[in-house]
Amino acid sequence: MGGYGDVKLLREDGKRLDGRAIDEMRPVTIEAGVLPAAHGSAMVTHGLNVAVAAVYGPMEAHPRKIQRQDRAVIDVRYNMAPFSTGDRIRPGFNRRSREISKVTAEALESVVLVERYPRSKIRVEIEILAAEAGTRCAGITAASVALADAGIPMRDMIVGVASGKIEDTVVLDLDKAEDNYGQADLPVGILPNTGEIAFLQMDGDLSIDEYNLAMEYNFKAAKEIHEEMVDALKRRYEGGEA
């Protein structure tokens, strides 16, 4: 979280700078099966964010030392394209992308039925083409749809959503300015069918009541995004191609 409260983020009428209500999400579109070379894929646009995910596998896990005798390992790479941000990013892994890749992999391992594929590896590649706050959530959503598109069995899909706090007000789905100048950000990965949480991060300052409200917003948004995810998969497979 950047500066605290020194930038005006709420308008006189209580709306946010981009005109959204405090519990309103940016528009989300989802498409499944966008990459012909991948076994499963999806593109998610969330506001101005663009995330693409590809799934390869299950395939032989190598090097051998990463193999698990009783389950598949999930190998996630979250990567921002050099042109995805204001200043160009030097290609390659950095600390931020390594951490996001790690916790995303652990979230996906909690829903994929990994015990069905012992000694194998499932590769999940998340590429961010445009970033405007909320890329890790868009990436998780895209990865879930891509896994489903690849036909990999899961207990549930994970929906990536975030709420936060600006000017002492809890709001759903921070945009770039709100993320830079707000007071807190709470990105989570929600399993809409079971109501469980597979991904959780937070930074900033939230009271317990504010946390509860932010989580309430997140669950509400997850339900909406989940409908889009299911629709995207239906559009992909109702054409008779499957």
Partner 1 sequence: MVELVPSLLRQELNRLAEDGQRIDGRGQFDGRDVHLEVDCLYNAEGSAKVVWGDTIIYAGVKFEIRTPWPDRPAQGSLMCGAELRPVAHRKYEPGPPSPQSIELGRVVDRGIRESGCIDMEELCIVPGEKVWGVMIDIHVLSDGGNIFDAAGLAAIAALRTAVVPAERFDVGEDYTLKVNGTPIMASFKRAGGRFVYDPSEEEELGGDERIHITLGDEGHLHSLQKGLKGVFTPDEFAEILAVAEQKCSELREMVAEKEGN
Applying CB under 8 A, the residues found at the interface with partner 1 are 34-39, 41, 48, 50, 52, 54, 56, 59, 77, 79, 81-88, 91-92, 123, 125, 127, 129-132
Q: Which is nearer to partner 1, 19 or 36 (CB)?
A: 36
User: Distance between CA atoms of 56 and 54, rounded to whole angstroms?
Assistant: 7
* Minimum separation from the CB atom of position 211 to partner 1 (A): 31
Compute the least distance from the CB of residue 213 to partner 1, in Å. Answer: 30
Would you say 171 and 16 are in contact if contact means Cβ atoms under 8 Å apart? yes
Concatenating the DSSP letter of every residue in 104-167 gives HHHHHHTTB-GGGSTTEEEEEEEEEEE-SS-HHHHHHHHHHHHHHHTT--BSS--EEEEEEEET
Nearest approach, Cβ of residue 154 and partner 1 (Å): 20
CB of 95 to partner 1, least distance (A): 16
- Closer to partner 1 by Cβ: residue 40 or 189: 40
Residue 19 or residue 86: which is nearer to partner 1 going by CB? 86
Smaller CB separation from partner 1, 84 or 163: 84
User: Where in the chain does DSSP place strands (E)?
Assistant: 28-32, 40-46, 49-60, 73-80, 120-130, 159-166, 169-172, 184-191, 196-200, 203-204
State the nearest-atom distance from the C-beta of 41 to partner 1, in Å.
Answer: 8
Q: Is the Cβ of residue 88 or residue 223 nearer to partner 1 in the bound state?
A: 88
Sheet with 28-32, strands from edge to edge, namely: 28-32, 40-46, 49-60, 120-130, 73-80
